[in-house]
Structure 1
Amino acid sequence: MDLRLLPSFLAVVEEQHFGRAAARLFLSPPAVTQHIRRLESELGTPLLHRNPVRPTAAGLRLAEHARTLLAAADAAVEDVHEAVRREREATARPLRVGIMGHGSAEITPAAVNAYRRARPEVPVEVIQLNFTEHVSALVEDRVDLAFIRPMPDDDRLVGDVLLTEQRIVVVPGSAPLADARTEGVRVADLADLPIFRVPDHTPAIFKDYLYFHNEAARRGRSIALFPQEVLTGVLTGHGAGSGLRSFARYYNWPGAVFVPVLDAPPESSHLAARAHDPNPEVAIFRALATTLARELAPRINNMPLP
């Protein structure tokens, strides 16, 4: 039996009229009539009385089976589609987004959430990067994108400037520099400031950024890989920290004082990716992030230090 004929038969049984059944199915009355005749021919018995239109005894029995068969067919199709969807979700490679520190401030979560809304079928994995990984995580294919600073001079990578900010240092409230939290300091004032250390394998460009290109500043007693370790070292007297202005909002720990460095060149945070990455999801994420950055960056830069 051709199951495609059953909707026409059920429509006639329920409407008790060939014309209304045809309109309900968006078919012509002759097409519906032909479907009924084919069913009656296949089964070898009349299924409908024509005047008035009502099912025969055989038609009543077939209507019961037809509803069960069509419901089962619909359920089978839905079940197959669900299996395909689950298989795709299970095998889909997530978009891996690395974030060093707080990334590009408010732009970072805005970009991740915008991508999730735009591409709900693609899983997103957020990976925290330490200060040594803003090149290696991408080159070693551990992440697909990375919110980093500063942008390394590496032909293997490409980057988008998202946010350019004033530099700051973070010191304990008991430090002499803490008194300059309002008026700020100059790079020359940092000559005796023991900024925390990073491992030797940290990229040189990050070390230069961290220490304001000042070799004498590399004297902190503790090694830090994450911002939380910087703050712990600052508050326990093991060193001072440096960063971008938005660092103060994300890591405003009691006892930590954030002091602007007036004459340090502003520094940018970037969204970096592998050069010539063929993954279209990388391009989509970059486009969303740069669009959001144009909207949010002016507002972020006007936020006061806490």
Structure 2
Amino acid sequence: MDPHLLRTFVAVLDHRSFSGAAASLGYTQSAVSQHIAALEADLGSRLVERRPVAPTPAGARLLEHAPALLLRLDAARADIARLHQARPTHLTLAASPAALGPTVARALAELRATAHALDVEVRVLGREAVLSDVVGGRADLGFVDGAAAPSDPLPMPDLGPTTTLAAAEETLAVLFPLGHPLAGRRTVRLTDLAQAQWIDAPDTAVPLDRLRTVCRTDGFRPWIRHRGTDLHGLAALAAAGHGLAALPLPVAAALPGIAAVPVSEPRLVHRIELVHPVNPTAPARQLADLIGGRAGSRA
């Protein structure tokens, strides 16, 4: 299966348009049509309905495999490229919004204190984009966050040859408007809030599907959707009564206009994990060692 054809297939279905895919990939619309036709001929099955553009049953099945396949191809290319890199003086760090907290900031300060010429770039991205940038070689290491039972790892996709380690575990909290009846509580139980109005903010707060999984309920339905990585925008929505959200207590407590109430049940923590390639650059390895030392000193 030609990966160029597969990328075109994914772009067509992402944009729900042959012309949109062509613009994003830098191809002509005719070339996009030829790619889809060639992929369908290779697999012996129609993959894309043309009017309107949508996946056929076979296309939907292929779409389940495509992101992982393309991610592994990017990982292989980046892994080989790193073998030929000179000693780097640049560090690119990708992090989901709630993962970029005090633990990461302090470790980065320690690293820069010993590597004065190091040029650092920090990117705040959604969780999937963080992992994609690390695996694809666009970031030297990444930090992602989520809710988990104490000492349990976060659920991750197959990232190929990468290393993952715990960076921090923090108290999980729910954001309430200041006038909410539960805003003054010392703790709350998530299961009691399953039927409340929630903000669906998968790249910023704990995703609602994760809350449904850990609480074993079909609740936690979105009242409003927030897309992006703006924590203050999320807090503004919560403060105005548009719904609840779950964030780590240290991050939530610093946001204006809301009350951050710790979660008592189920027994969960907000967990931050570091991900880097198995052959990281020297600055990335140094930062990982600093983070590992901090995590070990807390254990």
Whether the 8 Å contact between 1:132 and 1:225 is mirrored in structure 2 is: no
- Secondary structure of 2:264's counterpart equals coil
Please state if 1:170 is matched with 2:170.
Answer: no
The structure number with the bigger radius of gyration is 1
Partner Cα distance (1:141, 1:148) in 2: 16
Q: 1:188 to 1:261 in 2, by over 3 A?
A: same
Give 1:294 shift: 3.9
Q: 1:220 to 1:118 in 2, by over 3 A?
A: farther
One-letter amino acid of the structure 1 residue matched with residue 276 of structure 2: A
One-letter amino acid of the structure 1 residue matched with residue 193 of structure 2: L
Whether the 8 Å contact between 1:194 and 1:240 is mirrored in structure 2 is: yes
Please state if 1:230 is matched with 2:234.
Answer: yes
One-letter amino acid of the structure 2 residue matched with residue 178 of structure 1: A
Q: 1:222 to 1:208 in 2, by over 3 A?
A: closer
Map 1:250-269 → 2, pairs under 5 A: 250-251=254-255, 253=256, 255-264=257-266, 265-269=268-272
Partner Cα distance (2:128, 2:228) in 1: 7
Give 1:235 shift: 1.6
Map 1:15-30 → 2, pairs under 5 A: none
One-letter amino acid of the structure 1 residue matched with residue 225 of structure 2: S
Whether the 8 Å contact between 1:135 and 1:152 is mirrored in structure 2 is: no
One-letter amino acid of the structure 1 residue matched with residue 169 of structure 2: T
Whether the 8 Å contact between 1:110 and 1:292 is mirrored in structure 2 is: no
Q: How many residues align?
A: 199
Cα RMSD, aligned residues only: 2.8
One-letter amino acid of the structure 1 residue matched with residue 166 of structure 2: V
TM-score by length of 2: 0.58
Map 1:117-128 → 2, pairs under 5 A: 117-128=113-124
Whether the 8 Å contact between 1:159 and 1:272 is mirrored in structure 2 is: yes
Q: 1:237 to 1:207 in 2, by over 3 A?
A: closer
Give 1:97 shift: 0.8
Whether the 8 Å contact between 2:175 and 2:258 is mirrored in structure 1 is: yes
- Secondary structure of 1:262's counterpart equals strand
Cross-structure match for 2:69: none
1:94-140 C-alpha deviation (Å, 9 max, x unpaired): 21011222426321111111111222233111111235523223233
Cross-structure match for 1:270: 273
1:133-191 C-alpha deviation (Å, 9 max, x unpaired): 232232333321112113342342422212112221001012222132x2x11122111
Q: Percent identity?
A: 21
Cross-structure match for 1:279: 281
Ranges in structure 2 where 5+ consecutive residues have no aligned partner: 1-86, 147-153
One-letter amino acid of the structure 1 residue matched with residue 136 of structure 2: E
Ranges in structure 1 where 5+ consecutive residues have no aligned partner: 1-90, 299-306
Larger strand proportion, structure 1 or 2? 2
